[in-house]
Amino acid sequence: MARRGSDFHFAGKLVVVLVLAAIGGFVWAMWETGRGPGDILKLFGGGETAAVEPAKKDAAKETPPPPPPATKKDTPKDLPKDAPKQPAKGYSAVEMESLFRDVDGKLAAGRIKEARDRIAGFNRLLVPPEHAARFRELETKTDLCHKLLQETSPGAAVPLPEMAEIVTLVGTRGILVKNLVEMGDEYAYETLTGIRSRLPKAQVRELTKLTETGRRMAAVDYELERLCQSRGVYATRAPNGMVFTAPVSVTGMAFFDLADFCARNGHNARLVPLFEESHRRDPGILATVHESKADRMVNVFFYFLSLHSKDDARTAYAILKTRYRDTKSYRDRIESDTDVVDGYQVLVGEKIAKALPPPRPEDPPVKPPPDPEPDPPVKPPPTVEGSDPKPVTTGATPLPDGAPDAAARCVRQGDGYYDEARKHLLNSDPNLNPDGWAAENKRALDLFTRAFEQYEAAQNAYDKAGQSVPSSLLKRFRETQMSRSLCRKRAVSSK
């Protein structure tokens, strides 16, 4: 009969074997690692891991990781030649229409620089083909108007000035003025056309200040229509502004002068149609304006030379030399005129600079945008017609004792003509009297001629008497001769 498993005690024997194996493994681990029983027990409690991990982190900090293996990057020469390029995204139709509306609106309001900056911010290469023609046309128009604006007297858009209306005791209508200043018992002011003047308060019957923007714009429009009539231009009011028409004989420069009037008085909404019409009548209007401004500045320069005003003549010539040495007016009326060259050197002690050579036909016209032109020196304003004129005296020409009676009589007459001529000469400043300076210059020329004849007769009287001509008479004679010559040159240019 076989024996049962329980009699063999298998379970107990298995437990004993497992315990002995564990003890043996424990002893073998101590012998293999060289550690004591406590160190081996830490392995089972996680202590070894906690101790080893910081050491590993410190070692990682000290030893940088090896660089990743280099990979070959594609270069342009490695790319296929026929690889398609990613096209730049063009402007959408909505963006283009928004640009056109914005620029047109700014031009209509006279905000020309803002319109130019707006269109300059667009990349023309991204303009869709169906909008390219309109974009180029608007870009050309904006650039032209900006350059013409820089050639106006202010050289930039200015706000509407403060204005007033003066009604005098003898006047039939009010005088529209700006820059009104009270100076004691007088009013100093400037008309919208640029005439600076004064008026005694006793002669003013009514003075009304125009504070509303609409009234000031209407005042400028009123004077603008009067200027248009004097130049043969018809100004018609339209819902969107003002339309200007004229016969073919009216030049582009006439329209630019009207635009210059609006620019000086801050009525910028009238600028673009006037600029466009000036360019339509004269495609080279920029060059025409540059020459015209040079010619006007030469007249200002001659004005100060004829007055023998050293500092003002130097300032006026500095403007000419800086901005207009490339013009025909500078070459013909200054550099090539011996009287002007000698007169300026005697008065100021400086030589006239050579004119710049004119551009060759094959050379493209390259000219940087001009800076705003500095204002020429300003003299005290002339008096208003009807008011008591302030006498302009120079003093009698001193003669030594024993002068011949005929010579003394001619000198007295010559001094009277000379003083009267100087009075009209002062009123012939083109900056202070832009519309009437030519007439004042003509009167001064006639009086200087009479004074010249009297001084010449006085010298002949000294010669007949066998006496030497005094230096005071010779000096006055030369001054009269120079002023007379310059008045004649200005008269020729104003025709």
Hunting for tokens 């995204």 — which residue is that?
Answer: 89
pLDDT(494) > 90: no
H-helix or E-strand containing 279? Answer: helix 271-281
Strand, helix or coil at 234?
strand
Which of 85-105 are b and which e, b meaning 16 or more Cβ less than 10 Å from the residue's Cβ? eeeeeebeeeebeebeeebee
With beta carbons less than 8 A apart as the criterion, state whether 445 and 488 touch. yes
The pLDDT value recorded for residue 434 is 75
With beta carbons less than 8 A apart as the criterion, state whether 491 and 447 touch. no
Q: How confident is the model at residue 255 (pLDDT cuts 50, 70, 90)?
A: very high
The pLDDT value recorded for residue 131 is 94
pLDDT(249) > 80: yes
With beta carbons less than 8 A apart as the criterion, state whether 154 and 262 touch. no
Neighbour tally for 106: CB within 10 Å? 20
Q: Where are the domains of the chain?
A: 16-44, 93-150, 163-283, 284-377, 405-493
Share of the chain above pLDDT 90, in %: 53
pLDDT(160) > 50: yes
Q: How confident is the model at residue 261 (pLDDT cuts 50, 70, 90)?
A: very high
Sign of the alpha-carbon torsion through 154, 160, 161, 163: positive
Bridge partners (DSSP) of residue 168 are 204
Question: Would you give the DSSP letter of residue 383?
Answer: B
What is the DSSP annotation of 163-198? EEEEEESS-SSPEEEEEEEEETTEEEEEETTS-EEE
Q: Which of 208-212, 262-266, 357-361, 394-398 has the lowest mean pLDDT?
A: 357-361
pLDDT(344) > 50: yes
Q: How far apart are CA 301 and CA 295, in angstroms?
A: 10
**DSSP strand pairing (175-183 vs 163-168):** antiparallel
Q: Which of 101-110, 310-319, 427-436 has the lowest mean pLDDT?
A: 427-436
pLDDT tens track for 375-419: 444 444 343 333 334 444 467 899 999 999 999 999 999 999 999
Question: Would you give the DSSP letter of residue 127?
Answer: S
**CA Rg value for the chain:** 46
pLDDT tens track for 4-52: 445 556 666 776 767 777 777 766 666 666 666 665 555 555 444 444 4
With beta carbons less than 8 A apart as the criterion, state whether 238 and 270 touch. no
Residue 388's contacts (CB-CB under 8 Å, 6 or more residues apart) are: 200
Q: How confident is the model at residue 436 (pLDDT cuts 50, 70, 90)?
A: confident
Neighbour tally for 172: CB within 10 Å? 6
Strands (E), 221-337: 234-238, 241-245
Q: How confident is the model at residue 55 (pLDDT cuts 50, 70, 90)?
A: very low
Q: How many residues does the chain have?
A: 495
The number of angstroms, rounded, from the C-alpha of 304 to the middle of its chain's C-alpha atoms is 26
H helix runs in 46-128, sequence order: 47-62, 93-108, 112-120
Average pLDDT (361-381) is 44
Average pLDDT (197-206) is 90
pLDDT tens track for 73-105: 444 445 455 544 444 678 999 999 999 999 999
Neighbour tally for 366: CB within 10 Å? 6
The pLDDT value recorded for residue 68 is 57
Bridge partners (DSSP) of residue 199 are 187
Q: How far apart are CA 353 and CA 145, in angstroms?
A: 32
pLDDT(372) > 50: no
H-helix or E-strand containing 204? Answer: strand 204-210
Closest listed residue to residue 443, CA positions, set 477, 487, 410, 411? 487
Q: How far apart are CA 212 and CA 217, in angstroms?
A: 9
Hunting for tokens 């100004």 — which residue is that?
Answer: 235
Q: Which CATH architecture has domain 405-493?
A: Up-down Bundle (1.20)
pLDDT(278) > 80: yes
The pLDDT value recorded for residue 407 is 93
pLDDT(194) > 50: yes
93 or 71, which is more confident?
93
H helices, E strands: number in the chain: 17, 7
The pLDDT value recorded for residue 188 is 92
Strand, helix or coil at 200?
strand
pLDDT tens track for 297-343: 999 899 999 888 889 999 999 989 998 999 999 999 999 999 899 99
pLDDT mean across residues, the chain? 81
